[in-house]
Amino acid sequence: MSVAFGCVDVDGYELVAYTSGLSAGLTKALADLDDVDLMAAAHAGWAAVPAQRVHEGASVLEHRMATSEGVAILDVRLPAGLVPLRPAGDRPEVVGLRLAAVRIGLARKLLDLAIGALTGGRPPLHHMLLVGAITDVLGALASLRSRLENAVLRPVRTTVVDVHRRLTRLDWQVAKLFGLRGDLADHPVRALFVAELAANTWLGARQECHGRLGSALHARGARTAPGHRRRSGTGDLRRWRAAAAAGARACAARVLRSGRGRGVADAAP
């Protein structure tokens, strides 16, 4: 692998995601991978890419939430007996580091939206709890960002996977800040969950990260025919909504019991 490919500008990836969203961050993260690199590095033959990178006739797993974020899930599995033209090397780990920076930028953007939603008409205690929760998430993100910058020098798979696992926990804490609004499929918080799905396709960390959306990809992937855009059903979205609602209720119960707006300590390294 060339030195140029191995570069991970944490500030740059985070800023692009913060200002322009997931698709732009993914575009930057994969900019120096050609199609052969992509096929070699994608885990288990699946690759999340920007929608504009999909070639005509490509096999795509249709996922409505991903499509709404400008992301496509490509089926790049090779026929039996064939092997990639190039070894994967540490491409998956480097892409994983870049996507971790992208996810941090997305989380920061959602936190800004949550802060902007702190308007009048709510009890002061409600605002105090939200501010406390937001402060905790920001602190955990800063800690993960520092760990990410250290990992850039030597991208080790276990470290990259662990960073994404902790980011997934934080994403759910961010989603809870929006209450029932964060349960809506068209809410901006969906970018966090699509970003988790994208990271899972590159790292194959569905079980290691306990990803919520990655299971849907692997469950349906084997039934996606080449050149066919498979229509995704509503079952995954219903399960996601139910999980998000249950998480919000559990968070509210913990807050009432403890009187505090914390709950992200387990996300800190």
Alpha-carbon dihedral angle through residues 236, 242, 248, 249, given to the nearest 10 degrees = -160
Alpha helical stretches, state H, 78-205? 91-116, 124-151, 157-176, 190-203
SS (H, E, C) 204-267: CCHHHHCCCCHHHHHHHHCCCCCCCEECCCCHHHHHHHHHHHHHHHHHHHHHHHHCCCCCCHHH
pLDDT tens digits for range 64-78: 899 999 999 998 876
Of 247, 72, 86, 96, the residue nearest 175 (C-alpha) = 247
pLDDT in tens, 116-129: 877 656 667 777 88
- Name every residue whose Cβ is closer than 8 Å to that of residue 123 and which is 6 or more positions away in sequence: none
- Tokens read off for 194: 């699509």
Q: In Å, what is the CA distance from 263 to each residue of 78, 129, 147, 171?
A: 43, 11, 21, 12
Q: What is the band of 198 on the pLDDT scale with cuts at 50, 70, 90?
A: very high
The position carrying tokens 């995601």 is: 17
For the ranges 75-89, 132-146, 156-170, 181-195, the lowest mean pLDDT is seen at 75-89
Q: What's the pLDDT at 25?
A: 97
- Nearby residues of 21 by Cβ (< 8 Å), 6 or more positions away: 69, 70, 106, 191
- The domain limits of the chain are 3-267
Q: DSSP secondary-structure letter at 86?
A: S
Among 236, 147, 149, 148, CA closest to 197: 236
Among residues 108, 106, 101, the alpha carbon closest in space to that of 9 is found at 101
Name the nearest CA neighbour of 46 among 214, 190, 163. 214
Unique residue bearing structure tokens 């969906």: 190
Confidence of residue 269 (pLDDT cuts 50, 70, 90): very low
Give the model's confidence band at 254: pLDDT under 50 very low, under 70 low, under 90 confident, else very high: very low
What is the structure's pLDDT at 216?
40
Residue 268 confidence (pLDDT): 42
**Which sign does the torsion angle of CA 187, 46, 19, 141 carry?**
positive
CA distance 108 to 226: 37
The answer, yes or no, to whether residue 165 has pLDDT greater than 90, is yes
Which residues lie across from 230 on neighbouring strands?
A: 61
pLDDT at 115 over 50: yes
pLDDT of residue 7 exceeding 80: no
Going by DSSP bridges, is the β-strand pair 71-75/229-230 parallel, antiparallel, or unpaired? unpaired
| pLDDT single digits (tens) 73-109 | 998 876 655 555 555 556 888 999 999 999 999 999 9
